[in-house]
Amino acid sequence: MFGEVADLYDRYRPTYPEAVFDRIVEFGHLRSGDRALEVGAGTGRATRPLALRGLAVTALEPSSAMARLARQNTGDIAAVRVEESSFEDWPLPPQPFRPVASVQAWHWVRPEVAYGKAGDALEPGATLALVWNTATGEENRSGVGAELEAEIEAVYRREAPTLAQGVPRERELDRRHEIEASGAFVEVVREDYPWSTTYASEEYLGLLRTQSDHRLLNPPVLERLLNGIGLVLAGHRGTIDQSYVAKLYLARCPQ
């Protein structure tokens, strides 16, 4: 699904705060040259920051279109190797990794495989790092922001009632319990990194085209929805403010 819109994904999907990657390095006591395994690299939006911190990154990406862009986006970094494979199908090498990281992708890994195989991939005491960007609602919006959100929600109710929540945001999840329940990791922590950005209309509509629930709409429904949202944004200076929280989960493989 994401491979169909790989170029849009690369252009419009949000990035991640630099502090998230600094914290992964700090928590894992990582050093230049340490081997890192990234699960679900996409177009390399997290691969590059990990590699720029000195890690030798093996990045797994099952979509050929996404893997192509990941290679293109990290082509100037010799320590990055992008392999076209799912985590489930990829044979673990004999030499273990120092971190296993997955940014905005771990929920696609089959749960019966995910944590056990990640533990097998790591050396004792090494780090699992999982990151999700979550769009947050602005329950205390007032004035123009509240009016804009209400108008966008009206477009969803009219054109795509199955997505009638309006401005996309994710249900709050705390994954610490599932990490602990796997039995494969200890010292599980979660840290939140709030940040925000302003999208121009073109950027926001491009972002919506990359989201899985929108991709599942019938194409004519999607186009009517996006045209309606575009008209709303045109009446509000052609921009929309969006707040995010980058949720970082860290854990250690037992010694």
Instruction: Please report which confidence band the pLDDT of residue 241 belongs to, taking 50, 70 and 90 as the band edges.
Output: very high
User: Which tokens sit at 180?
Assistant: 């602990």
Distance CA 253, CA 37 (A): 14
Is the pLDDT score of 155 beyond 80?
Answer: yes
Distance CA 212, CA 233 (A): 22
Q: What is the pLDDT of residue 212?
A: 84
User: Which tokens sit at 93?
Assistant: 């090498």
Is the pLDDT score of 165 beyond 80?
Answer: no
Q: Evaluate whether 42 touches 73 at the Cβ level (below 8 Å).
A: no
Kind and range of the H or E element at 35? strand 35-39
**3, 1, 203, 208 alpha-carbon torsion, rounded to 10°:** 180
Is the pLDDT score of 169 beyond 90?
Answer: no
User: Percentages helix, strand, coil for the chain, rounded to the nearest 5?
Assistant: 40, 25, 35
Q: What is the pLDDT of residue 162?
A: 86
Residue 50, number of CB atoms within 10 A of its CB: 28
CATH classification at residue 169: 3.40.50.150
Which amino acid makes up residue 182? S
- Provide the domain limits for residue 82: 2-252
Q: What is the pLDDT of residue 6?
A: 87
How many folded domains does the chain comprise? 1
User: Which tokens sit at 156?
Assistant: 């969803």
Backbone angles phi, psi at 93, to 5 degrees: -75, 165
Q: Which of 229, 16, 242 is nearest to 136 (CA)?
A: 242
> For residue range 54-87, what is the model confidence (pLDDT) as tens digits?
999 999 999 999 999 999 999 999 999 999 999 9
Give the three-state DSSP class for 227.
helix
pTM of the predicted structure, to 2 decimals: 0.89
Is the pLDDT score of 215 beyond 80?
Answer: yes
Instruction: Please report which confidence band the pLDDT of residue 172 belongs to, taking 50, 70 and 90 as the band edges.
Output: low
> For residue range 97-120, what is the model confidence (pLDDT) as tens digits?
999 999 999 999 999 999 999 999
Q: What is the pLDDT of residue 70?
A: 97
